[in-house]
Chains A and B, each alone.
Chain A
């Protein structure tokens, strides 16, 4: 809990008892059942993991400034990108928005006093911490060199590194995801306040519901897969060893059955956050509520039938490849529905450019680039050319960093007044949002070009003609790194010194803005009764633009 919780006790932002000053001391945090405090425990822990994964990324980019590699032996470089991938995917991106903002906001948004199973919620944090500690231990005590995908035989016969410990850490952390997803599903089904019907829910809740479905349905499969891998390594029984009748491709099928949906675990919550931000800062009802809501569910469903597009060149049948290609194109439909509906919501809204909105607009642009380049990879012929190159790296970073991390930061900024009771310095927040946007594009756009020119990923060295683009990418990474450090500083600063925010600094709709900031431990003095749709922004403002789409007409 390095950043978020240390100074929160001092000087309550508003008079009265809230969840931060209701009790003091380390025990009151480590034994809390309060969903808001558990959200902050996650926030602090994944911030640490983000820093670890980020340091690995920075070292990689420094190494790649020179064609022959500036820092490491190739073996060490392998460990760097493996650490970066494993930590960032399993210990930052997967829990990022669900475990922090989801935990904090779901009960507030649906009008409940807590999640359905508070003890289970705390338990899932401890499980996560156990898994994360194992992964960190494995990293520091020698590392792992398989890449985040753990493909056998790299991970079974040909690796003398800490594969078993890392796999065990990921296995354990998976149960934290499962329990979080279970808790959210039950909470959203059973804990909604009177009048909070499914179609009055904020779209963030729909996104969290879709994400939870993937948690519950996908994570057990990666768990059993890593279990089999662990047995293969410890007992040498040959499940994935062709020499004794095993099939390494089976591992890839099982792995991607989880890990492709896991991509949507990372992006769906971000889409939910963006739906909240776009409406709040254009002061309009979302355009096509039910389309946006159902597009989340359909992304979750389709995500389970596209995993083969990771295996076009691994020797799966060409007919399977055709089917997976077509199915992968389908994902573009609900994704595009969201982008179009956000854009239509902006149309003739009264838009203001506070920091969270900058992140949301950045998300829409970067996610669109990431999504469209995904279509290149879903087509069989272009994938054969682009597979295993930096084009892939650039594509999924546009989704995971340009998409998921931008939305995460936008959400953290938007709800920070609710979480801490304080405002952050708006100018600094806007500056850092701009730095992150610029740094991100400078880092990853050159990688599209590198990949198209044929530079393979996961190599410690590269031909000299790729140096200019690599230096640009590394320069962008250093700018991006600075962009991430600035919010860490001013958000920490604002916990003690920021101006008091008040219950609803953005004049936003939603139940979470009707209660004090920070909220009291029991959230609502009286359970609210909901009588209106989500995003019911004042009609008076909308009347200035009577023909704008999505404007409520009365």
Chain B
């Protein structure tokens, strides 16, 4: 995904360490460029999600009662479980980077990476099986499966729109993250990383944590705030 990932053929011809790209003068310069590149990318992502969060907050203030009602259609225990799953996956991602940094065996790095992937897949699985599928059955997906009447008012439809846009976009980022993790596992298995060179792990970690943080904002915005817990 990002330049700075190993170009193994080049390393064979020179004294440069593995993964060193020709346009850089030093390994340090390459590492800094990769990290800065990912941070700039994450800033872009913040603005990307930001447009959606802003729209959500504006419509929430315009249609407060409907959004509270819509929020009650969501099941907090699944959202909460997924929050825990994601936070734990950030820990395992950090441990994978730590293992590479401290020169642990590649088996250990792969263990943490795969555990991260399992947790990411668990998140998506819970979302699909227990939340989106149920919404589909109950006719809560605007434009796809929507039953008018009852609690399914137009305002609730608007809320559900945003719910699916926001969680869908987030889930898309999770899937991309799983793809990146797969590449990282393969690269680790091929001995690309060492305690001197592990910046792809570090940069991908930044991305993974970012996707987690987006969820940390989504969960209260969609599931928790607004009348579900009176008196709080």
Contact = CB atoms under 8 A, between A and B. Distances in A.
A482 interface: no
B142 A116 contact: no
A186 B55 contact: no
A191 B23 contact: yes
B48 A220 contact: yes
Contacts of B157: 237-238, 244
A7 interface: no
A527 B51 contact: no
Q: Name the interface size band of chain A.
A: 35 or more
Contacts, number: 118
Nearest to B21: A118
Interface string A211-234: 000001111110111011001001
B51 A254 contact: yes
B62 A186 contact: no
Contacts of A185: 36, 40
Contacts of B32: 190
Nearest to B141: A235
A502 B23 CA distance: 26
Nearest to A120: B3
A164 to B, nearest CB: 14
Interface string A261-279: 0000000000000000000
Interface string B173-207: 00000000000000000000000000000000000
Contact of B142 (A225, A227, A235): A235
Interface of A is mostly: helix
A507 interface: no
B210 to A, nearest CB: 14
A543 interface: no
Nearest to A221: B51
Nearest to B160: A237
Contacts of B48: 220-221, 223-224
Interface of A: 112-120, 178, 181-183, 185-186, 189-191, 216-221, 223-225, 227-228, 231, 234-239, 244-247, 250, 254, 257, 522, 527
28 contacts: A112-B23, A114-B23, A115-B23, A117-B33, A117-B37, A119-B3, A181-B40, A182-B37, A182-B41, A182-B44, A190-B29, A190-B36, A191-B29, A216-B44, A217-B43, A221-B48, A227-B165, A237-B142, A237-B157, A237-B158, A237-B161, A238-B158, A238-B161, A245-B62, A245-B154, A246-B59, A250-B55, A250-B58
- 10 nearest A-B residue pairs (beta carbon): A235-B143, A117-B3, A220-B48, A114-B23, A224-B51, A220-B47, A190-B33, A116-B33, A221-B51, A244-B154
Interface of B: 2-4, 21-25, 29, 32-33, 36-37, 40-41, 43-45, 47-52, 54-55, 58-59, 62-63, 66, 142-144, 154-155, 157-158, 161, 165
